[in-house]
Amino acid sequence: MRVRCRHLKCNARLGEPNPVAKPLELLMRSIVPALALVVLLAACGGERDESAGRGGASSDPGSLSGPPTITSEPWGVTHEGDSVNLYTLRNANGMTVRVSDLGGIVTEVLVPDRDGKLVDVVLGHDSLEDYLDGSSYFGAIVGRYANRIAGGRFELDDTTYELARNDGENHLHGGVRGFDRVLWDAFTVQSGPIPGSPYDVPGAGRASLILSYVSEEGEEGYPGRLDAEVTITLTNGNELKFGYEASTDAPTVVNLTHHGYWNLAGHASGSILDHELELRASRYTPVDTGLIPTGELHHVEGTPFDFRTPTRIGERIDADDEQLRIGGGYDHNFVLDDWTGDGALRLAARLRDPTSGLALEVLTTEPGLQLYSGNVLGDSDVGKEGAVYGQRTGLCLETQHFPDSPNQPEFPSTVLRPGAKYESETVKRIRTE
């Protein structure tokens, strides 16, 4: 695991020659380093609104021009009496994202469809209370370990660790009180073009919510204290970026992701079976009856798991296939073809809804992606505006390391040691067709 600035690539024009006259060029040589430092600090989250702390500063979101904005408002209190805030990120296109500092929950993603109508494309609840009482991980950050660990245990450096078992005999999404249920410290960052800077590029502005949480030694059974940070950023390119970082004081395992349920026709529009999905994955990890990977990597060719070309979700979901019967549909990790472990963002998936004309592109630095087709959503899952989320009314595209990696030595490692840094990035870009 290597340390790098996630956002250096945003300044792609940094090395281009300055076309201005020579006298001005000499002047710029004296001020460019300072300007570059300001841009770099803003892009990498180096300047936080520390004075705001939880509840952050707010900016006027009324104008649909210029860089994205971020505002905050109280959202309620937890059962323990802690105050919770809701943050609103809005860009120049009208795209609006709302995120809570409880669980890093993305409660709403509003985006204009092909007719210019704002559509909320993620499942969720209207109230904080519904999230506190719910169990579907709607829109949350999950960890310390996303997905399943077999038997709720793993061995690291000749020591066996017993984790909370909250999925039958297995450990799921960090346990009984995973990262989806904790209150994160929140800071806001707004950055935009610097007037007069030669590095000013259209749409360079962004608004970010930086969430930090300290998971103490022994929490849900995990070894080591984990200092985690998640940066959620909205750009004027309709990109929703998730940057994850973590460090530890003792060897541990970590695997973080965002558990959003997507329906590009609108959260209350019904089934996602007509959505078209493309995955850059030639293999997947088959599972046993407990949805734990067997350790094998199966080729998708000739199976219902072949999404290498755009395919309707519902085209083969009910096929006579043992793996589909086990999952009740798709609930499987796909092995991304182009992953090399170099930390570069690569296209992993593309989801499209023909009715709204909206398409979601997922880029990630991770080796895997869990496709979950909302198989166990049911009538008890009452969502926003009273919508009833039935089976397969939303799907998840969870970028991740593979499930049960701590017990599968052939899988890419999820071990984090003191002095190293866990880094991961996923970009969810929404386009209109």
- pLDDT above 90 covers what percent of the chain? 78
Position 2 pLDDT exceeds 80: no
**Residue 1 in domain:** no
**Residue 148 in domain:** yes
- Which pLDDT score is estimated for 65? 67
Give per-residue pLDDT as tens, 86-108: 999 999 999 999 999 999 999 99
In sequence order, which ranges of 328-414 are alpha helices (DSSP H)?
A: none
202/129: higher pLDDT: 129
Please give the structure tokens belonging to residue 254: 């970590």
- Which pLDDT score is estimated for 59? 35
Position 58 pLDDT exceeds 60: no
Give, for 189, the enclosing helix (H) or strand (E). Answer: strand 185-191
Lowest-pLDDT range, 26-40, 145-159, 357-371? 26-40
Position 337 pLDDT exceeds 90: yes
* Mean pLDDT value of segment 425-429: 98
**Residue 3 in domain:** no
**What DSSP line would sit under 372-429, residue for residue?**
E--TT--TT-B-GGG-B--TTS-BEEEEESPTTGGG-TTSPP-EE-TT--EEEEEEEE
- pLDDT above 70 covers what percent of the chain? 82
Question: Within 10 Å of residue 89's Cβ, how many Cβ atoms?
Answer: 27
Q: Is 259 a catalytic residue?
A: yes
Please give the structure tokens belonging to residue 220: 């849900």
The conformation of residue 24, written as its DSSP 8-state character, comes to H
- State the Cα–Cα distance between residues 241 and 427, nearest whole angstrom: 4
The boundaries of the domain holding residue 181 are 8-432
Confidence of residue 112 (pLDDT cuts 50, 70, 90): very high
**Residue 66 in domain:** yes
The conformation of residue 33, written as its DSSP 8-state character, comes to H
From 259, 275, 332, 401, active-site residue: 259
Give per-residue pLDDT as tens, 220-255: 999 999 999 999 999 999 999 999 999 999 999 999
**Residue 20 in domain:** yes
Q: Is 220 a catalytic residue?
A: no
* Mean pLDDT value of segment 60-73: 73
**Residue 276 in domain:** yes
Confidence of residue 196 (pLDDT cuts 50, 70, 90): low
134/291: higher pLDDT: 291
CATH number of the domain residue 290 falls in: 2.70.98.10
| Mean pLDDT score of the chain | 86
- State the Cα–Cα distance between residues 156 and 253, nearest whole angstrom: 9
Position 34 pLDDT exceeds 60: no
Residue with tokens 């970082």: 245
Pairing of strands 422-432, 206-215: unpaired
**Residue 2 in domain:** no
* Mean pLDDT value of segment 21-41: 37
- Which pLDDT score is estimated for 64? 57
Question: Within 10 Å of residue 411's Cβ, how many Cβ atoms?
Answer: 21
Position 37 pLDDT exceeds 90: no
From 361, 398, 401, 425, active-site residue: 398
Lowest-pLDDT range, 185-199, 271-285, 387-401? 185-199
Give, for 131, the enclosing helix (H) or strand (E). Answer: helix 128-133
Q: How many domains does the chain have?
A: 1
In sequence order, which ranges of 311-371 are alpha helices (DSSP H)?
A: 322-327
* Mean pLDDT value of segment 352-361: 97
- Which pLDDT score is estimated for 45? 38
**Residue 283 in domain:** yes
Confidence of residue 329 (pLDDT cuts 50, 70, 90): very high
End-to-end alpha carbon distance in the chain? 37
Residue length, the chain? Answer: 433
- Which pLDDT score is estimated for 245? 98
- Which pLDDT score is estimated for 193? 58
Please give the structure tokens belonging to residue 318: 């009910």
The conformation of residue 37, written as its DSSP 8-state character, comes to H
Position 20 pLDDT exceeds 50: no
Confidence of residue 378 (pLDDT cuts 50, 70, 90): confident
Position 125 pLDDT exceeds 80: yes
Give the rounded distance of the alpha carbon of 371 from its chain centre. 14
